[in-house]
Amino acid sequence: MSPATDFSLLADGGAFAWLILGTAALAALFMVERALFLHRGHVRSADFIEGVRNNLRAGRAIEALAACEDSPGPVPRVVKAALLRIPAGEDAMRAAATEAALLELPVLERRLGTLAALGQLAPLLGLAGAAVAGFDIAGALRDGSLYGAPDALLLEAQSALATAALGLCVAAVCGVGHHFLSGRVRAIATEMEIAAWSLITYVRHELPEEQAAERMRAQR
């Protein structure tokens, strides 16, 4: 069997192939960790808000706060911040919810920047590996060490192409993972905003109307 058919990325790809694989392993670790973190923090915001509204409608404010404490994720924490500011008025509730959401966003976005950086680094490492392999080919041809040895020349060319391709594949996977995780973060941020708006609107407008209607029915 000729040397050209014995190509192995790990054996012949050189240090750059190992660096790219290390980058891929680190990126995969970050993607799995972030995906699990965002999944654990997900709640059905519509059902959660309805449960809080039912507790408030029945005058059970402590139970509404307890539901926020017992539920995971950023949405209940934002709702809790707004609930604690009910006596201070609507503006204070909105300010508390906004502040709580701003504190949650950095936690949700953690490691996404690193993942994007790894996606940009991988093709650069592949290009560097290809350039180094090409330089070795040019040097060997110049001093005649590869003259008359096409299999050795093809092996070096395979190393250059494989390293570049590996870097591009890792970059593509990192890009897809970053896009998916960023979409999840945006979805959770939207849920926080909708939950806070829904709760504040209910507490400051709908709940007083319901209570007034209930008093009128009781007086009849």
Q: Per residue in 123-167, pLDDT tens?
A: 999 999 888 888 777 776 676 655 546 666 777 788 888 888 899
Provide the residue type at 136 as one letter. Answer: D
CB 155 within 8 A of CB 3: yes
How far apart (Å, rounded) are the C-alpha atoms in residues 137 and 165? 18
Q: Is the separation of the CB atoms in 17 and 161 below 8 Å?
A: no
What is the reported pLDDT for 3? 45
Q: Per the domain annotation, does 11 fall within a domain?
A: no
Write the pLDDT tens digit of every residue in 60-106.
Answer: 889 989 988 888 889 999 999 999 998 888 899 999 999 999 999 99
57 assigned to some structural domain? yes
Number of domains making up the chain: 1
Residue 60 per-residue DSSP state: -
> Is the residue at 12 inside a domain?
no
pLDDT at 112: 95
What's residue 217's pLDDT?
76
- Domain assignment present for 7: no
pLDDT recorded at residue 4:
45
At which residue do the structure tokens 């070795």 appear? Answer: 136
Mean pLDDT for 162-178 is 93
- Give the pLDDT confidence score for residue 1 in this predicted structure: 37
Better pLDDT: 183 or 48: 183
Percent of the chain clearing pLDDT 70 (strictly above): 87
121 lies in some domain: yes
Whether 151 maps to a domain, the answer reads: yes
The parent domain of residue 45 ranges over 31-219
Position 4 in a domain: no
Helix (H, G, I), strand (E, B) or coil at 214: helix
What's the CA gap between 116 and 27, in Å, rounded? 9
**Which pLDDT score is estimated for 44?**
77
